[in-house]
Amino acid sequence: MTRSAEHVVSEYNDKDEVGMKIVSRIDDVRSAVMQARGEGKKIGFIPTMGYLHDGHLSLVEISRGITQFQVMSIFVNRLQFNDSSDFTNYPKDLERDIAMAGKCGVDLLFTPDDREMYKNALTTVDVSRLTDNLCGAHRPGHFKGVFTVVSKLFNIVQPDLAVFGQKDIQQAASIEKMVFDLNFPVRIILAPIIREKDGLAMSSRNKHLDQQQRADALALSSGLKHAEQLILGGERDVKKITHEIESIIKKGNPDSIDYISVVSYEDLSYIDRIDGKSVIALAAFWGTTRLIDNMIIEVAGDSYKCIY
């Protein structure tokens, strides 16, 4: 039997030794944050949809290096689901999430329900252009739901900084654009992609891969590593780089390649030559498992930096 979220939370809060506080009301977030601020603490924020894994915990760790009070939200945001059954079936394990968040140094866990977040809501936030390509092409309305809930959470928590993973580069870059455009007083930190020892980007989906697929899927990170070598060698032509990445990914026998895209970081529009800050983003299927990976490239003249 699944116990209700209220039950799990109240049981947790009843314990005496608790360091982390769990709240589900907006007003309670505000007063806890105000108190922390009153103590001179800077506020870090990690928005999540729960079902935490090491990737989430690495975001908290980064935030703890810069701020003194960590707020994490767990909210499965129906606005960002294109498919209502995906929303209903989104995995949940609040007890495990609470244990993990508490251990990794979260000070305040915000677990609102749908009613607390959306009461006859009619307001939306959208960022054009950055959501047209990459994953956005297949997910109409998804990013609008993300921007809207992130705007709400920023206004509720009023953090000094928020951490997003580079893994979902389109989300991270477009939230950075939203923050810039709307002047949110929040610093956005991109957390590097956490990888297995052999280079595969960590994902809760990796467990769906069989042994052969798991080995083959290394083709994604290998493609990025090869692209870095090409860029180190002076190659700037996107067509050539894309072509070489494609050969490498194909050696991993993917069932299909969704995209190999080279875009400007500024607005995620397609580019012909790598210049300034750019992104190589990959998505491919092994079986029914869709995996993504990416690399940020900063080029200035002959010098370059690749972050992946």
Active site residues: 56
C-beta separation of 199 from 225 below 8 A? yes
- Smallest separation (angstroms) from a copy of itself to the CB of 184: 5
- Residues in touch with a copy of itself (CB under 8 A): 26, 30, 119-130, 147-148, 151-152, 155-156, 158, 177-178, 180-185, 266-267
- Smallest separation (angstroms) from a copy of itself to the CB of 193: 25
What is the C-alpha R_g of the chain?
Answer: 20
Give CA torsion, residues 88, 89, 95, 99, to 10 deg: -110
Q: Which of 170, 142, 163 is nearest to 292 (CA)?
A: 170
Phi, psi of 116, rounded to the nearest 5 degrees: -65, -30
- CA–CA distance, 147 with 3 (Å, rounded to integer): 31
- CA–CA distance, 276 with 267 (Å, rounded to integer): 12
In the complex with a copy of itself, the residue whose CB is nearer, 64 or 277, is 277
CA distances from 103 to 70, 97, 186, 204 (A): 12, 10, 25, 20
C-beta separation of 60 from 72 below 8 A? yes
Contacts of 124 by beta carbon, 8 Å cutoff, 6+ apart: 144, 147, 148
Q: DSSP states of 145-184 as a string? A: HHHHHHHHHHHHH--SEEEEETTSHHHHHHHHHHHHHHT-
- Smallest separation (angstroms) from a copy of itself to the CB of 267: 7
Instruction: Count other C-beta atoms under 10 Å from residue 128's C-beta.
Output: 9
* Per-residue tokens: 116: 């607390």
- Smallest separation (angstroms) from a copy of itself to the CB of 153: 8
Q: Which of 150, 168, 160, 162 is nearest to 189 (CA)?
A: 162
